[in-house]
Chain A
Amino acid sequence: MKTFSKYWSIFQITLINSLAYPGELVGRSLMIIPFMWIFYQLWKVTFSAAGADIINGLTLRDTLWYLMLAETIELGRPPIARTMSENVKDGSIAYILNKPYDFLLYQFSTAMGETIFRAILNAVFGGLTVLWLVGAPKHPEGFLIALPAIFGAWILHFCINAMIGLSAFVVEDVSAFTWIYQKLAFIFGGMLIPLDFYPQWLQTLAKFLPFSSAIYGPARLFVTPTAQFFINVMSLQLAWIFVLTFLLVVAYRRGLTQLTVNGG
């Protein structure tokens, strides 16, 4: 019980901390509004050029709500890899490592604490924008059904980004890796274009990769909240969480012996 309350407290303090500058928090979240407006223009033209109301099972309304949730997941997650890299560079890793808690669970608790308000604000601003542009989603209850998958998506993001962050124990600067990850997530996660619009072979490949479990899966579940799809998304996601958590723990144990702490 005490162990759980430890991580819960870490989560809570990060949550409170994320409210230290409310203006910055809100301002950053407002960015989703122009994003959604651009997506709306882009997809409106695409749908009318194709002369179809439905492309590969998605309407314009579905596409916009899909993109809203995809953006919310992506914009809500904190830059874990960059934070860990900065901790190594400025030496503050020394304080994080010398407390009686599991380093990875500590990082996860802080990451979730930073995520909650960002994600809520993005969902609210993004949701209102899309509501105004294309109307209510076909399955509003889909949001609740997608919630476990959204949480799972953040766990996946955490695993991948923490692994990138851990490489800072050796290389210190990880910006190149985060850049690559971001671009891969854009393409294979379906951040700009839902994977359904890809050619079949690319779809098959992309849907199997962890990026789709971290973005496409939950966002698509929101617009198609069927039991079968829920099972598909969750089982693939859990498999990836299992594999990546294992890799992360191995990477952490190895990284620890390589760590150099900067500063006097």
Chain B
Amino acid sequence: MTSIEVTNLQKTFQTKRKAAGLSGSMRALIKPEYSLIEAVHNLSFRMEAGELLGFIGPNGAGKSTTIKMLTGILHPSGGEAKVLGFIPWKERQKLAYHIGTVFGQRPQLWYHLPAMDTFILFGKIYELDDKETKKRIEYLTEAFEIKDLLDVPVRKLSLGQRMRCEVAASLLHRPKLLLLDEPSIGLDVVAKQHIRDAIKRMNQEEGVGVLLTSHDAGDLEAMCRRVIVVNHGQIVYEDKVSNLKRKFLTTKLVEVRYAEEVSKDYAIDGVEILKVGHYGVKLKFDTTKTSVDSVMSHLSGAGDIVDITISDPPLEEVIAKIYQEANG
């Protein structure tokens, strides 16, 4: 079953242009100039029910605008979209019963009140029975580990704690689809992991589909199976996360530590040396140009290796590569 179907979706904004300084302001007053910004340009994609789909791209790529159109807040300039069978901007309220949203940069919990008050309010807004709300809060409390946080005014919570409450609140009415716009922004590693685990659990236990926009490559690797990369309002890449890694993840990072001090010239063809110390080295190489084998034998010939780490570069770099490729 398809949960999101988007065909040639477009959104154009009109923005006022103004030259810098007072004279620019005066000119803009007398003769305002406008420019059109195409935030979303002919976007088409599908998302299956229960899927975990990553929707990534740099700032201003049109990710958030797309999410806002999919929730029905913004009217598109053109194209079509169906979310759970509803046309979002025409059936916004009906759709609202079936989707949950989290905009990571803005709170939906009442700031001065304990999160529990918002949970109860949401129960009423989504027309749940009081008993059902209570049961649901208990379940989410356990899934998101927020038992001790519910009675504290939201403003006193840390960002990580607050985000756990935010995501939990958006799941109160058992939505079929969760739209997460930068849920991990500003969080530390542990807090990110908490949220990722809880979302994955909700996906497995309740089959809630997740459309996630993020700057954080870690979110994708941890949660999503498929990824859509957008830039300038257009899709530049669409594939499984694993394929994305294989295709664009052609460099390896190697960090080696030796038992004793080593003085060796590590330079070989195709290897970029990132850091050299007396007891080790950190380098990067392209596996399509230099074989892993040749690099390893070169390194092991230098001395007794006590520790070695081989890792992929962060996905940010991969995304940067895709952008570069897309932009020629």
Contact = CB atoms under 8 A, between A and B. Distances in A.
B162 to A, nearest CB: 14
Interface in A58-96: 90-95
B106 A92 contact: yes
A100 to B, nearest CB: 4
Contacts of B101: 94-95, 98
B127 A17 contact: no
Contacts of A13: 110, 113, 117-118, 121
A10 B110 CA distance: 11
Contacts of A20: 112-113, 153
B97 A263 contact: no
B59 A264 contact: yes
B125 interface: yes
Contacts of B182: 264
Contacts of A94: 68, 71, 73, 101, 103, 106
A90 B106 contact: yes
B204 interface: no
Interface in A127-165: none
Contacts of B181: 264
B117 A10 contact: no
Contacts of A261: 68, 73-74
A41 interface: no
A90 B111 CA distance: 15
A91 B182 CA distance: 14
Contacts of B63: 264
A10 B74 CA distance: 24
Contacts, number: 87
A100 B125 contact: yes
B75 A256 contact: yes
B93 interface: yes
B50 interface: no
Interface in A100-133: 100-102
Interface in A30-78: none
B124 interface: yes
B127 A95 contact: no
Interface residues of B, number: 37
A259 B13 CA distance: 10
Interface in B12-65: 13, 59-60, 63-64
Nearest to A18: B112
B187 to A, nearest CB: 16
Nearest to A102: B93
A101 B153 CA distance: 25
B200 interface: no
Interface in B116-132: 117-118, 120-121, 124-127
B76 to A, nearest CB: 10
Contacts of B64: 263-264
A99 to B, nearest CB: 6
A183 interface: no
Contact of A259 (B74, B120, B121, B124): B74
A201 to B, nearest CB: 38
Nearest to B153: A20
Contact of A5 (B59, B72, B103, B124): B124
A200 interface: no
B108 interface: yes
Nearest to A260: B13
A6 interface: yes
Contacts of A257: 75
A100 B126 contact: yes
B92 interface: yes
A101 B97 CA distance: 10
B105 interface: yes
B302 interface: no
Nearest to B98: A100
A250 interface: no
A99 B105 contact: no
Contacts of A17: 110, 112-113
Nearest to B118: A13
A174 B87 CA distance: 31
A9 interface: yes
The 4 lowest CB-CB distance pairs between A and B, nearest first, are: A20-B112, A9-B124, A100-B96, A95-B108
20 contacts: A2-B124, A9-B121, A9-B125, A13-B118, A17-B112, A20-B113, A90-B106, A91-B103, A91-B106, A95-B101, A97-B73, A98-B71, A98-B96, A98-B101, A100-B97, A100-B126, A100-B127, A260-B74, A261-B68, A261-B73
Interface of B: 13, 59-60, 63-64, 68, 71-75, 92-94, 96-97, 99, 101, 103, 105-108, 110, 112-113, 117-118, 120-121, 124-127, 153, 181-182
